[in-house]
Each structure stands twice: as structure tokens, then as C-alpha cells.
Structure 1
Amino acid sequence: HGATTSVDGRVVSSSPWHDQGQVDVLPLLNKAKSPMHMNLSLAKAFQGGSSLHLCATLPAKARVSVHLLPLQVHFAPRKVIRVAYSFHTTNDPTSFGLVLNLVSKDEIVLRGWPSSQMTSSPLSQITSSSLSPLIGRAKHTRAYAPVSETTSPNGWITRVYQLGGALWDGHVIKGVSVFGVNLSDERTEDWSVHVGQVVVCPVAADMPTLSQMSPVITAVQIDPSTATLTWTVPSTVQYTHVFQEMLTCHDELVWVGRTNHSRWQLPSKAKSDTTFVLQPVHWTGAVGRPQRVTIVLGGADDPSSFRQT
């Protein structure tokens, strides 16, 4: 549920909503001994209607962390694990990051590049063999920078990491933690961040670029018996956003909903041709190529009364 609906951090609907069919996977919020406070917030969302809000008042140079959720992900030989997270903050973005907690007691720290060293590749150029650079180490800790860090026009930052190699072969990730740090040497600061998305997944060996994780919609057709638009997507698709083209001076796309199934009920009282844009979302968070479908006025009960563009 939410007070608004967001797609990739962009608010597409300002109407409050509640739908049990659109429940996303969220961390279990339990008691934890930490000065960091956590709550589900409806004020900002990256996907859907809510985000996880983290905040703390940190003395100079202080660092705070808290366990977010349990996992069980194995580092297999010659395999790469991709980690991505999206967040929004008014503090310095380098003050926030993720930690992968391993069964071996080792920690993999995933933080951003310092502003003076920022280097990032376009997602389309990242291959399955691209690994995040090591930027720090201690006895049981390794720190990595992202292979890609992007900031959306609405302020959401997405960092993508790729981890693997002989160092981690056989290790098991048992959980994910988040941390915040006060970068000031002198003063206490109020620290706050909204976490919109966290993804941890293996990368297929035959996946040449990150862009190819984007799912594709195929076999779009109308079911005349139910006046329903149907399509086919890979099993890796979590849900599909449905937009409608509005013939205004801006030819704007209006979000009309999302579905966990590969179908959408057509309007029964259309007065003109209607164009929908379907956009699937992968379980990894990757957004697929938009598929534009025009329903030609003449009756949804006529299976030939549509065209796909």
C-alpha cells in the first residue's frame, strides 16, 4: 500500500492505494541493538508505495550499522554475484552503504566511490565478467566500489556491484546489513536515508551485458471471450507496469496500474483507439523494453481489432 505509486523513483500516481496482490518482499523488522532507527516510510518510494527509512544522530566520525535481512547465497566457482541497491538521501551519498555478512565471519563492504575518484561505466558496457574494484581491506573485511553508479533526475542513486573470483569461491552470504557514517571530523550530524531496492543474484555465464537482463514481452494478443489483453514474459519477470497514451499536447504516458499476471482487462466503453505501453520488471529490478500496443476501436470482441507497434 502507499500514499502514492512510484516507478523507478518517479511518482506516477498520487492516489492512495492498498492491494494485497502487490505485496513486495520486505525485510522483517525485528528489535536490534543499534542507534539506527528503521521504519517503513510512505513519504518516498523507488518501486510501489514505500521505502525503508533509516536515520540516526551520529557524533563526529561515528559509524552505525544494523542487520537488514537474512540470505543464503553461495559464491560458486567461476560465477559472478550481482548486488544492486537504490537509495535516496540528502546527506553525502558516500556516507551510506551495504555489507554482505558471510558465514565465515568475513564482511564484504559495498560503498560508493569518493566524489574525487568517481568512475562508472554505462550499464550497457558491463559484462558478466566485469568485477567491482577492491578499494580497501582489513583482516576480515574487503571494501568494493560499484561497477556502475547512476543518479536519477529525482535523486535516487543506484549502485551496481559484481563480485566473484577465487577469493570468494565457496563462501556463503548469510545476510545483508546497512551502515551509515558521519564524515565530519568535528560535529554531530543527523543522518537519514531511504532504501528503495536491494538485489542480490547470481549472473548467468552467457549473459554478455547487464542490459540483457531486461525482460522482453512477446505474443501480445486479445482474448475475445474476456476482452482481456494478454502477453508472454519470461519466468524471471516479477510484474508488468501498464501505461496508457493520452492524446494531449504532450502525448503523455499515464500509469494505469501494474499486474503480477500477464494480462490486463480492456476498458469496455472506449470511444477511440486506445494505446497501451507494457513494461515488465525483472526480479533483479531491471526494467524491460516498453511494448506499445494499440487497440483499434471496433470492439474488443473482435480478435483482429488491434495492432502492435
Structure 2
Amino acid sequence: MFENFSINESLNKIGTKLGSWLDSIILNLPNFLLAILVFLVFIFIAKYVGNLINRLLRRKVKQASIREMSVKVLKAIIILVGFFIALGLLNLDKVLTSVLAGAGVVGLAIGLALQGTLNNTFSGVILSFLPQLQIGDWVETNGFAGEVKEINLRNIVIKQSDNNYVIIPNGKIVEEPFKNFSRTLRSRVMLNCGVAYNSNLEFVQDLTKKTIANSFPQKGNEEVEFMYEEFGDSSINFVVRFWTDVTKNRDILIAKNKAVIEIKKAFDANDINIPFPIRTIDFTNKLSIQKPEKES
């Protein structure tokens, strides 16, 4: 009889509990439906905003991986906001607090574990929006020079002049200075040379400037500059500076090659000597290499 009473009491408690749950569900059904509706609305908003941002980023960011990652992060943030609002409508404040606390702890742990990776990721996002560095530019950075072929969320890929590829982490690009040849259409090229000590220095100066100006037309305020630098061991050395079209390092080499040829032709036509170091070997050694004769 005692066992029957315990079973009946347990069944009554279960029935009472289920009844209270049913009443709670009925009372909170409007809030539940409203929470679902709000969450679905935020999903729709995330999709619409993602498509809009993707179209806007196409004008600024050439790299598809950067655009896709940015859109996904934005959509995830909007959906999370909708999720938290839905939890608030269901009066699940404690659950919301627990979720935020757990997310904070997990985020901190992931951030510490992936510190270098996250640094490169955020640096990649920064680089994708910088006008100073774009795909196709010729840059020098971290001891390497080449054409930028790719900018992704971890690194940039540079193709060097020897046709080899160099992968540099984005963090290195952001933290270290880099030189971009493609940001300016015109650059100044400097060429060093020397003439013999018996040369007419004023004539050499005028001839060199005229030769370079004819080969490389100067624009606007640009001009050919000529300066003697020093009395060298076998020549009086000078530097000539001029402007030309440069968008990569190869353009500088081409300009120097042409300038050397034209200057050499002009100097040869006017009997101007470009001396080179001469080594004189003295054989006047007075020491005898013959062995002295032995006395008999």
C-alpha cells in the first residue's frame, strides 16, 4: 500500500510539472513566435547587407578571399545580434549571460592560441584597403623585390624578376617599410661615371646633360642634373640624374643601359676618355736569385 502511494505521488508531481510547463509554453508562445520572427528577420537582413557590402567591396578590394571573409564576418555579427535579441524576448537573461561569458572565455583562448595568425589576418584586411599596395604593383620589402600577385588573409605573394615566388606574412608588410615603384609614373635615375684628369670639365658637363636630355625628354619642372663628386684614383667622378618613366625596377635598368650607351657614344665622338684603373708591375728587383758559388 505504501508503494502504491509513492507511485501515485510521483505521478502527480510529474503531471503537475508537465502541466506547469504546458502553461508556461502557452503563456510564452507569443514571445516564442516573436523571437523566431525576429531571428528570421535578422537572417534576411544579414543576407541583404552581405550582398550590398560585397558589391561595394568589388570596387575597392580585388582579392576575392578578402571580400568573402569580410562579408561572412559581417553576416555572422548581424545574425548573432538577432540571436541575442531573440533570447532577450524569451526572458532567457541567464542563458544570454552564460552564452556571452562562455563566448568571451573561448574567444580569449582562441586569440592567445592564434595570436600570430590573427595578426596576419587583420593585417591582410588592412592591406586590402590600402591604396599604397595593390595587386600588380612592383614593390621592395623585407629584402625582396617583385610584382604583387596575391593578397590573402595570411600573406602576400610576390613574383621576383627571376620568376620565383616569395610568400611574406601580412604582419611583416604592415610592420616593415616597403617601396612601391608603381605608385608613381616618373622616377629619377642616377648614373655614376668618370673622366680623365686632362678633360675639359665644363665641356664634359654640357655634353653629358645634352646627351641625356635628348635620350630622355624631361617634363614640366624636371631637368637633367650633373655634379662632379670627387677626385678619384684615376678619374674625376661625376653623377648625372634624370627623370624617366618607371613603374618597376626593370625600367631603371633599361634607362641606365640606354644612358651608358649614349654617353659612351658621345664621349667617343669628342675624344673624351673614360679611364680605368691601371696596375703597374715593377720588375726592378735587385736581389739576386742565383746561388753564390762555393769556394774550392
TM-score by length of 1: 0.25
* Structure with bigger gyration radius: 2
Which structure dedicates a bigger proportion of its chain to strand? Answer: 1
Larger RCO: 1 or 2 (CA < 8 Å, sep 6+): 1
